[in-house]
């Protein structure tokens, strides 16, 4: 359950980050992703009830409620890896940490 909640937190962060605007990123360079409020609330509850430390939930709150850049996903990924005892971070490339769009994208259900 903890692993599922942590992975859901990463998906929520992707949705939130994809809907912000950033000074150094041109409009259209990030394809927006959606997430329901019900799923977000459920994820917060699952994180609060399964995680041993507050790092994952705090990193997700930072993405949701503070001005950040897409590279902030690295902090959340690191917190998830630590919570799940997977070792240290394996991606440290802040410039390409967040996938904004791809040229082969396909809508879900299409």
- Whether the pLDDT of residue 35 is over 90: the answer is yes
- Segment 66-94 mean pLDDT: 93
Tell me: pLDDT of 21 over 80.
yes
Q: Enumerate the domain spans of the chain.
A: 2-23+30-92
* DSSP 8-state class, residue 84: T
Q: From CA 83, how far away is CA 85, in angstroms rounded?
A: 5
- Is residue 54 predicted with pLDDT exceeding 90? yes
Task: Give 89's pLDDT tier (boundaries 50, 70, 90).
Answer: confident
Mean pLDDT across the stretch 52-63? 98
**Is the pLDDT reported for residue 110 higher than 70?**
no
Mean pLDDT across the chain = 91
Show the tokens assigned to 36: 């329901």
């Amino acid at each position: 359950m903890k692993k599922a909640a942590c992975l859901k937190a990463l998906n929520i962060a992707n949705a939130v980050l994809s809907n912000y605007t950033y000074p150094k990123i041109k409009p259209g360079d990030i394809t927006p992703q959606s997430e329901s409020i019900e799923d977000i609330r459920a994820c917060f509850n699952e994180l609060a009830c399964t995680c041993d430390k507050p790092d994952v939930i705090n990193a997700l709150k930072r993405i949701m409620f503070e001005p950040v850049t897409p590279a902030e996903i690295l902090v959340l990924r690191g917190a998830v890896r630590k919570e799940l005892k997977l070792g240290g971070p394996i991606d440290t490339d802040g410039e390409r940490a967040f996938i904004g769009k791809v040229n082969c994208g396909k809508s879900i259900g299409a």
